[in-house]
Amino acid sequence: MPNSADVQLVRNATVLVDVGSVTFLVDPMFSDEGENPPVPNSPNDRRNPLVPMPGVELSYDAVVVTHRHQDHWDEAAVEALDADVPLFCQPAEADAFAAEGFTDVRAVEESASFEGVTVHRTQGRHGHGALAEEMGPVSGFVFEGDETVYVAGDTVWYDAVQETLDRFAPEVVVLNGGEARFEEGDPITMGVEDITAVRAATDAEIVVVHMEAINHCLLSREELREGVGDVHVPADGERVTF
């Protein structure tokens, strides 16, 4: 049986989150290395994903998708997942999953229950200003069981993240780092400054993922470790146990 709150990074934002005896697979991206084109209007033309899938046993009870961008949900995941897997998502995207053949799509307006765990949907801001609006709706999720895990999703630091930390007081926080960006505009995921702000706002264990796997994520793990103390920055395939 898993520990009460473990996080295993698979690759990029794909993580396995254990809450008690329940395991959630978050944001499955299963494409082979280099199978997808570069993110448009980004600072380099490397094909995605930049790295292969690690040898991780993908055992889980339910799937959670924060949003349907290709680095969080791809065609390989559609093909690999069972059609009847419980799949939690933001309401705006429920019909798209159903159209792909999934039969147990659970749109989360505010919260839902699953095998003794309460799943809360939280707000995110995928960038700054007008660019954040163009990126479309994104969500985070809080998994509340014997312990509480907050998966923030693709968001920068802003007041809704602070409010989520204050409301749920999670023991574990999973942040999407990488400081993803386009040729113009500010970053659309967290960088050193954002993660430093989260570190100052909570006593939780912080795990930073979404690193070194997509061509427009320019912040390296080494740079993050040098810039922010007291956070976990796992390698692909690594499990962080608390």
Q: Which of 77, 87, 90, 189 is nearest to 131 (CA)?
A: 189
User: Does the predicted model carry a pTM greater than 0.85?
Assistant: yes
**pLDDT at 130 (0 to 100):** 87
- Residues of the chain with pLDDT > 90, as a percent, come to 94
Which is the CATH superfamily of the domain at 5-240?
A: Ribonuclease Z/Hydroxyacylglutathione hydrolase-like (3.60.15.10)
Q: Say if CB 10 and CB 210 are below 8 A apart.
A: no
Q: Are strands 111-114 and 139-144 parallel, antiparallel or unpaired?
A: unpaired
> In this predicted model, what pLDDT tens digit does every residue of 95-131 receive, in sequence order?
999 999 999 999 999 999 999 999 999 999 999 888 8
CB atoms within 10 A of CB 220: 15
Tallying the residues shown for the chain, one arrives at 242
